[in-house]
């Protein structure tokens, strides 16, 4: 009877340890690989217009960026393409769809995704350069806050839509 009791304790201990190891590995992997969560922000649904023609780049669609990134000057690190997939014209309307808090295990950042409302690329969801890892300079926001309600779009790049 004593042998069965010890065997039973041992099996429960092994089950507990295996479960604990699995949960620990999942936690470590999520920290290493990074994760993203959508954050409510005062700029959600806001409309902006581009102040100049800008390039539209196809990107990796990962924790750092969605499928497209706006930018100009240099090729972003987040693409294998050697040239942009298109151009977003001056005065194109964009609506803030979501603010995403991301992280790469050692650093947290906010990303901003907007929907193109008119023009050739209407309907596409695009990231704008922020303080997110690997985003090109210059960034299109003022400051590098992690508070989604403190985000300020740089008016050198995007202006509020006129009502």
Give residue-wise pLDDT tens across range 80-122.
Answer: 888 999 999 999 999 999 999 988 777 899 999 999 999 999 9
pLDDT of 141 > 50? The answer is: yes
Which range (12-16, 105-109, 142-146, 147-151) has the least confidence?
12-16
Which two tokens mark 20?
């604990």
How many Å apart are CA 163 and CA 154, to the nearest integer? 19
Give the model's pLDDT for residue 11: 64
How many Å apart are CA 117 and CA 101, to the nearest integer? 24
Cβ-contact 108, 102 below 8 angstroms: yes
How many Å apart are CA 148 and CA 12, to the nearest integer? 45
């Amino acid at each position: 009877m004593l042998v069965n009791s010890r065997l039973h304790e041992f099996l429960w201990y092994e089950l507990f340890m295996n479960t604990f190891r699995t949960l620990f590995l999942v936690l470590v992997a999520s920290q290493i690989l990074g994760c993203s969560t959508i954050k409510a922000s005062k700029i959600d649904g806001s409309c902006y217009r581009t102040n100049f023609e800008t390039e539209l780049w196809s990107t990796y669609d990962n924790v750092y960026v969605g499928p497209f990134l706006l930018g100009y000057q240099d090729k972003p690190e987040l693409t294998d393409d050697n040239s942009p997939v298109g151009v977003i014209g001056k005065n194109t309307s964009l609506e803030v769809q979501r603010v995403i808090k991301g992280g790469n295990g050692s650093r947290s950042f906010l990303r901003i995704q907007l929907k193109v409302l008119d023009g050739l690329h209407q309907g596409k969801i695009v990231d704008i350069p922020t303080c997110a890892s690997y985003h090109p300079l210059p960034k299109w926001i003022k400051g590098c806050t992690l508070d989604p309600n403190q985000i300020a779009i740089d008016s050198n790049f995007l202006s509020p839509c006129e009502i």
